[in-house]
Amino acid sequence: MNYVELLGRIVADIKVAVSLATIVPVGPAKSLHDGEIAQASWALPVAGLLVGLPGAVVYAIAHRVGLPAEPAAVLALAATVLVTGAIHEDGLADTLDGLGGGKSRDSRLEIMRDSRIGTYGACALVISITLRWSALATIAEPAAVATALLMAHAAARAALPVFMWLIPPARPDGLSAGAGQPSPQSAIMAVSLGILCLVIGLGPGKAIMGLILLSIGALIWGVIATRQIGGQTGDILGALEQAGEIAILLMAAASV
């Protein structure tokens, strides 16, 4: 493969990742077939950077016009939710509804496919939004908020390919099953990009702490998902992203 072909493949993978993680109309570079989403999964941290960027810009504008940190943080979060179409928030709510309300594996999966939100899901969304909002408001300074948003969205998505590689799909259909299993190379590349973002944003020492925290969280979540529904789904991945995003933002807030 020459450099032109390699560059074309990289751009195509990034387009696929962005089209999966956001509502930005870049569209995949070509019609997707089995395994192509898994192949492009290494680029999910790059898509995460593109999600965090609008939040950072909105926060900076809000700060510039004199808004306090609290409402500015709300607007920044709203920007990231809009650019993703709330896909990960939806996954978090569906997952908690299913795991909290289902009595068997099949009933949990059925509830997770129901688009209606229940008590568990509503509570999970309130907690997720409140924790992220309070973390950004605590950080306050626009440049630091921008760094926190960018690294949180990138690092949280860096965990997804590894999780998909290690934990099999819970059912033969659905988004996760259709995506395929990422290769070890894709998983390692995604993690490397996530670590790089953490090192840049937090420094080497705290980046290691962040990596350990994300790893422990993903391990626990993997055990829960396997025991409760027999594997992972798109909703499980969305909930994992939300947990990782929260963890990194809280770490950044604690460093202020």
Flag whether the pTM goes above 0.85: yes
Tens of pLDDT, residue by residue over 21-51, are 899 888 654 555 557 788 889 999 999 999 9
Say if CB 228 and CB 105 are below 8 A apart.
Answer: yes
Q: What is the DSSP letter of 80?
A: H
Angle at 229 between CA 225 and CA 235, to 5 degrees: 65
Q: Return the structure tokens found at 216.
A: 């422990």
Say which amino acid occupies 180: G
CB count in 10 Å sphere of residue 65: 8
On the CB side of 146, CA atoms within 13 Å amount to: 13
**Of 92, 67, 230, which is closest to residue 156 (Cα–Cα)?**
92
Angstrom distances, CA of residue 9 to CA of 6, 116, 124: 5, 38, 38
Q: What is the pLDDT of residue 172?
A: 80
pLDDT tens-digit readout, 52-66? 999 999 999 999 999
**CA–CA gap between residue 43 and residue 103 (Å, rounded):** 36
Alpha helices in 102-141 (DSSP H): 105-113, 119-139
152 vs 31, higher pLDDT:
152
pLDDT in tens, 169-218: 988 876 776 778 898 999 999 999 999 999 998 888 888 888 898 999 99
Q: Indicate if the pLDDT at residue 147 is higher than 60.
A: yes
30 or 167: which carries more pLDDT confidence?
167
Angle, helix 184-202 to helix 142-166, in steps of 10 degrees: 160
What angle (nearest 5°) sits at the alpha carbon of residue 216, between those of residues 212 and 220?
170
Instruction: Extract the tokens encoding 8.
Output: 């074309």
Average pLDDT value for residue range 230-239 = 94
69-126 pLDDT per residue, tens:
999 999 999 999 999 999 999 999 999 999 998 999 999 999 999 889 999 999 999 9
Q: What is the pLDDT of residue 246?
A: 96
Helix (H, G, I), strand (E, B) or coil at 87: helix
What whole-number distance in Å separates Cα of residue 27 and Cα of residue 101? 36
CA gap 151, 220 in Å, rounded: 22
SS (H, E, C) 218-239: HHHHHHHHHHHHCCECHHHHHH
Per-residue confidence (pLDDT) for residue 38, from 0 to 100: 83
Contact between 194 and 159 (Cβ < 8 Å)? yes
pLDDT at residue 25, as a whole number:
83
